[in-house]
Amino acid sequence: GGGGGGAASIPAERANASKAIAIDPSSIEAKLRKGENRTFLLKITNNQDKPVAARFELSGASAGFITLDSDGLYLTRRAGGSLLMQIAIQASALPGSYEGELAVIANASRIAVPVKIEVLPQAFAEKSVRVEVFSKSVQQNGTLRYRLLLANIEQGTELEVIETVAADGSGNEVSRRQYQETASAVIERELSTTGLPAGRYLLTVSVAADGEEYATADSFEVSLQLLTSEMITALVYGLLGVLAALGGYKGYTRYRTYLTKKLTFIPARAALLPSKGLWVGQIAESGKKAFLAPEDLATHVITAGSTGSGKTVAAMAVVEELLKTKVPVVVFDPTAQWTGFVKKCMDSNMLTKYQKFGMKDDDAHSFEGMIYEVENPKVNIDFKKYMNPGEITIFTLNKLKPGQYDIAVKSIVDSIFSKGWEESGSLRLLIVFDEVHRLLERYGGKGGYIALERAAREFRKWGIGIIMVSQVLADFKEALKGNVMTEIQMHTKSMEDIQRCAEKYGAEYSNRVTKESVGIGMVQNPKYNKGQPWFVEFRPLHHNPHKISAEEMEQYRRFAGKLAAIEKEIQLLAKKADTSDVELEFKLAGEKLKSGAFRMAEFYIESIENSIKALRRK
């Protein structure tokens, strides 16, 4: 909302009037109907020879319709950043014109971007998809990053995407790829330019959702690679030879410093990092395997990053490895994305990364688990019932109303405290809370993180670990962060998180966090690397990274309900009849359901129901 009270004394400039900070576009105008939404990308460039911290403020009548993906940006010298602005018109909004501004405040400047929104009468909300490349020019054998901006397509919708690249002018298609995605306001992807000759190309993306198809395109240019890898290798060896001939220790150390600065990430000494345990990927730019120690999960983990940074996939990689060690995992999932654990990976984008990490196509597999829907936030869960070795239990919370996530988290934590737990020196259960930033007041929460603070303090003595997944890290109070020993910071646009990183570890780390590609995270645990962070490229997943279909979810709900009723019936019959055969079939039915074999599960359930009828007649 509003804003501007304390900023009134700062002279306002029109966007791009200042040479120090440039904003594109310099104004925003949107005509939307009630119920529609649209996302705008603003590019903010720092033209100064010094870094600058920019913060954003909204004011005026238009502010009530606007959501920003960040409160500010940390811009290094002569570099740029981006801000996503989503305009959403509530169904209750009155038609009319709403004007205001977005203020970009940097040092002593306050740059105003006028925002004018015209709300049109209610009509069918037009759905659209727009593709936008991050950079119009990319080198041969490089990587082109692009984003899909979705408007009025319900988040969580399964998307079928076809990506084609054609030579601009001739129209000859040079590559085609098909993959699945889950709808969100912004989706970021990558494609390789290896093998593409220098020239202009057209990227076309076709998206199918709910029976409708949307096509969008953007152009880019592939430029010549001035130095091939062979030439670079030859130059490096030549320079090393000169240094060796001179015998100059000073020259050698300067050269090492030069190489370090050229690296995207700060190198870490492998000897100071975990050398075994949970294999989660590679130490960035080294090719060496990266591990997390299982015992460190008992002192909890938080993984944070912007939407699309790969924070949830990073947490999933940790969970996959832990399940292999037969430790049970319970997940509380407001997005239903974790339900994909019960299906093997079929995502082409994920599978193409297998080879880089030494994985084979046969490594794609599902995990045994059960899925339950939570519709009442005051849920009471008997966790000991779900502590089955190597199994994952997923409680979906996507049916809860806004604001009920706080109540659910408090109820879940209270459920654990209500049970009698013996102290344990080893990890016996891992609990995952996704989307925990929803517990913060700025995201509409009502302080539910207080329950997490209590959990983080007490659970470790019982051998219960927690993984929390969040869009932000800095906003959580020190009472929570002080009890979470492992932090994984993925790419972020949060000004607070970038500043926190700079203050805690130095600008060289905070600058690199803003440049991380999807799937790369900065890991820190005071036990390792002399307390300094290190960078990990997380491996692709074995399981399906997308949520299961609504039809499959309904089958889980229906069969799980039947098994729960059958279990109670067996307990009653066991008092007066021999139920050993029925109990065996019940166990088999549960195993089939956990592995996603619905037909076999249904077969056993029908057999059990017939057996129970026969026992009743005796």
In terms of domains, do 509 and 397 share one?
yes
Q: Bridge partners of 538?
A: 281
In terms of domains, do 279 and 366 share one?
yes
| 330 assigned to some structural domain | yes
Tell me which residue of 170, 165, 172, 150 sits closest to 217, measured CA to CA: 165
Last residue of a domain, one of 126, 152, 175: 126
Q: Domain containing 23 — which CATH number?
A: 2.60.40.10
Peptide bond before residue 25 is cis, with ω within 30 degrees of 0: yes
| Same domain membership, residue 562 and residue 453 | no
Looking at 126, 156, 176, which one is the last position of a domain? 126
Side chain identity, residue 473: L
- Whether 452 and 432 have beta carbons less than 8 Å apart is answered as no
One domain for residues 512 and 364: yes
Which pLDDT does position 223 carry in this prediction? 87
Q: Give the CATH number of the domain where residue 274 resides.
A: 3.40.50.300
Rounded-to-integer distance, Cα 188 and Cα 307, Å: 9
Residue that is last in its domain, among 97, 126, 155: 126
Angle (CA) 180-186-187 rounded to 5° is: 30
Q: What per-residue confidence (pLDDT) applies to 241?
A: 65
Is residue 348, in this structure, part of any structural domain at all?
Answer: yes
The answer to the question of residue 223 being in a domain is: no
Distance CA 240, CA 234 (A): 10
Q: Quote the CA–CA distance of 112 and 15 in Å, as a whole number.
A: 6
Quote the CA–CA distance of 35 and 91 in Å, as a whole number: 5
What SS3 state is found at 506?
A: coil
Predicted TM-score of the model (pTM): 0.59
Selection from 606, 612, 613, 602 nearest residue 571 by Cα = 612
**Has residue 359 been placed in a domain?**
yes
Q: Which residues contact 298 (CB under 8 A, 6 or more apart)?
A: 426, 427, 460, 463, 464, 465
Same domain, 514 and 593: no
Question: Do both 431 and 530 map to the same domain?
Answer: yes
Domain-located, residue 417: yes
27 in any annotated domain: yes
Specify if 404 maps to a domain. yes
User: What's the domain range around 82?
Assistant: 1-126
Q: How many of the other CB atoms lie within 10 Å of CB of 396?
A: 24
Residues 430 and 480 in one domain: yes
Which tens digits make up the pLDDT trace of 525-559? 988 988 899 999 999 999 999 999 888 889 888 99
Q: Indicate if 487 and 348 belong to the same structural domain.
A: yes
CA distance linking residue 606 with residue 187, whole number of Å: 43
Asked whether residue 327 falls in the same domain as residue 345, the answer is yes
* Mean pLDDT split into 10-residue runs, the chain, 618 residues: 36 52 90 83 87 90 89 83 86 88 87 93 68 89 90 84 80 85 88 89 88 82 69 63 58 44 63 92 88 94 91 96 96 93 91 93 93 91 92 93 87 90 92 89 71 89 94 72 87 85 84 85 91 94 92 89 91 88 89 85 89 84
pLDDT for position 117: 95
Is the domain of 451 the same as that of 473?
yes
The CA-based diameter of the chain, rounded to the nearest angstrom, is 98
pLDDT tens for residues 302-337?
999 988 889 999 999 999 999 999 999 999 999 999
Residue type, 295: E
- Do 502 and 446 share a domain, yes or no? yes
Structural domain total, the chain: 4
Are residues 555 and 524 part of one domain? no
CB proximity list for 257: less than 8 A, separation 6 or greater:
none
Contact 275/533 with Cβ under 8 angstroms?
no
Peptide bond into 274 cis (omega under 30): no
pLDDT at 599 (0 to 100): 84
Tokens of 471: 């869009």
**Nearest CA to 335 among 377, 395, 263?**
395
